[in-house]
Structures are given as structure tokens and as C-alpha cells.
Amino acid sequence: MEREILLSGVGGQSVQLAAQVLAHAAIHEGRQVMLLGTYGGTMRGGSSESTLVVGDEALISPPIVSRCWSAIAMHHAFWANSTSKLRAGGVIVLNESLFEAEVDRDKYRVFDVPATRIATDLGSPMAASMVLVAAYAALTDLVGVQSLVEAMRESVPSYRRQHLESNEKALRTGYDSVEPGLAPAWKGDCAG
């Protein structure tokens, strides 16, 4: 079984780091992974998107997919491209602190997480992507929180090591901010 995850947001929100953390966490748990990150020419403010394919066997889908099982959305900017790829019944986890676009809540299973508010309350607003990716992991049971923490420690570049503790707090808080297993990745039909 394979699950496709699309992460989207605005440059500067750590969408690419969140995708790497989720990918490495899946590898820690024995899954097969392919990841492709794309972003606009600017460091901040442009589009930022990553496609992650996770499976329990050798992967068939390349990391460039036309249809996705789920999405993690940090911001509404550039969201139109992401929503067009989602299958009916797909899982969407939104950063409700910033996300302002309309989402068809009858067509998709939508979970709102105040990621930016939670990260700000923790004293680290830049860790909102860690909150959101951990909430996604808990909702889908894709990976466990300890795998996320280990993966984050591997993924954060050496010149950003001062953020390890705040990122770990954000991951653990995000994971605990939702009811786990509401949209399981590895059980049942799961919309495709």
C-alpha cells in the first residue's frame, strides 16, 4: 500500500523541512519513501510544495503524482494547485491559524489545527510546520512521535541546531493536539 502526501505553503514556513522530517520518520519505521520538493525562486513568500510517497513495499508511484491521498497545508496561498490533486475522501490537515481559502468539507476529510498559534504559545512561531506535520502523523498513524523527533534531529542543518529543543516541543505538542487515528493511513480503504 502507498500513501501520497502533498505539503504546501509559502517559502519561509519550513514546508521542505517538514517534508524531510516526515520522510525520515517513515524510513525509521521501515517504510519505503520518495520525496520531491519544489519551490519558487524566492526564499520567502513564493510557493513551497513537497510531494512525499510512503509505502510498505517497493514504491510504484514516482514522487510526481497527479492524485494524492492527503495534504498538509500551512497557508492558503498556492493552495489551488494542491487541492486539484486530492482524491475525493482525501485527508487534509490545515493550519487554521493562517489558512483562509474555502475547502470542500463534504468532499474531503478536513482537520483544522491551529499550528501557528500553538507554536507561538510555545515561544517558537517558526516551528508551526513541526506542529502541523506531527498533528498529521497522529491523525493518520503514519509514523510515531519518537520517529518524528529522531528524524527532525537528523534533518535540521548544523547551522540551525539551536532550534532542536523548540522543534521537539512543537512536534510533541502537535502530536498531542489531536485525537490520534481519526484518518488511518494503513487501515481500510482510506479513499484510494
Residue 42 confidence (pLDDT) above 70: no
Contacts of 181 (CB under 8 A, 6+ apart): 138, 139, 140, 141
**Residue range 124-182, pLDDT digits in tens:** 999 999 999 999 999 999 999 999 999 999 999 999 999 999 999 999 999 999 999 99
Which residues span the domain enclosing 65?
2-176
- Which of the two residues, 10 and 179, has the higher pLDDT score? 179
Look at residue 190 and tell me if it is in a domain.
no
Pairwise CA distance, residues 104 & 11, whole Å: 25
Torsion of CA 47, 150, 175, 170, to 10 degrees: -70
pLDDT score of 149:
98
The alpha carbon dihedral of 88, 72, 17, 3 has a sign of negative
pLDDT score of 125:
94
Q: Which of 15-29, 45-59, 101-115, 153-167 has the lowest mean pLDDT?
A: 45-59
Report the run of H or E that residue 15 belongs to, with start and end: helix 15-28
- Which of the two residues, 10 and 74, has the higher pLDDT score? 74
- Which of the two residues, 87 and 1, has the higher pLDDT score? 87
**Sheet architecture: strand order including 86-95:** 32-39, 47-55, 2-10, 68-73, 86-95, 109-113
Question: How many domains, the chain?
Answer: 1
Average pLDDT, the chain: 90
Contact between residue 18 and residue 72 where contact means Cβ atoms under 8 Å apart:
yes
Residue 62 confidence (pLDDT) above 70: no
Look at residue 105 and tell me if it is in a domain.
yes
Contact between residue 73 and residue 116 where contact means Cβ atoms under 8 Å apart:
no
Residue 177 in grid coordinates? 493536539
Reference 116, options 142, 92, 135, 141; nearest CA is: 135
Look at residue 58 and tell me if it is in a domain.
yes
Report the run of H or E that residue 117 belongs to, with start and end: helix 115-121
Look at residue 48 and tell me if it is in a domain.
yes
Neighbours of 146 (CB within 10 A): 14
pLDDT score of 47:
76
pLDDT score of 63:
65
**Residue range 77-110, pLDDT digits in tens:** 888 878 889 999 999 999 999 999 999 999 999 9
pLDDT score of 113:
98
Look at residue 189 and tell me if it is in a domain.
no
- The arithmetic mean of pLDDT across residues 1-16, rounded, is 87
Look at residue 185 and tell me if it is in a domain.
no
Contact between residue 142 and residue 136 where contact means Cβ atoms under 8 Å apart:
yes
Look at residue 123 and tell me if it is in a domain.
yes
Pairwise CA distance, residues 106 & 48, whole Å: 27
Look at residue 57 and tell me if it is in a domain.
yes
- The arithmetic mean of pLDDT across residues 61-65, rounded, is 69
Residue 41 confidence (pLDDT) above 70: no
pLDDT score of 191:
46
- Which class for 14: exposed (0-12), middle (13-18), buried (19 or more C-beta within 10 A)? buried
Task: CATH number of the domain at 139, please.
Answer: 3.40.920.10
